[in-house]
Amino acid sequence: MMYSEKVMDHFMNPRNVGEIENADGIGEVGNVKCGDIMKIYLKIEENIIKDVKFKTFGCGSAIATSSMATEMIIGKSIEEALKLTNKAVAEALDGLPPVKMHCSVLAEQAVKSAIIDYAKKNNIHIDGLEDIKIDDDHDHHHDIEEE
- Asked whether the beta carbons of 85 and 69 are under 8 A apart, the reply is no
Catalytic residue among 49, 69, 103, 116: 103
DSSP of 14-49: -SSBS--TT-SEEEEEE-TTT--EEEEEEEEETTEE
Q: Helical H runs in the chain?
A: 5-12, 60-73, 78-82, 86-92, 101-122
- Catalytic annotation present for 103: yes
Q: Which of 17, 34, 88, 144 is catalytic?
A: 34
* CB burial readout 48-63, b (16+ within 10 A) else e: ebebbbbebebebbbb
To the query of whether residue 59 is one of the catalytic residues in this protein, the response is no
Question: Which active-site residues does the annotation give?
Answer: 34, 103
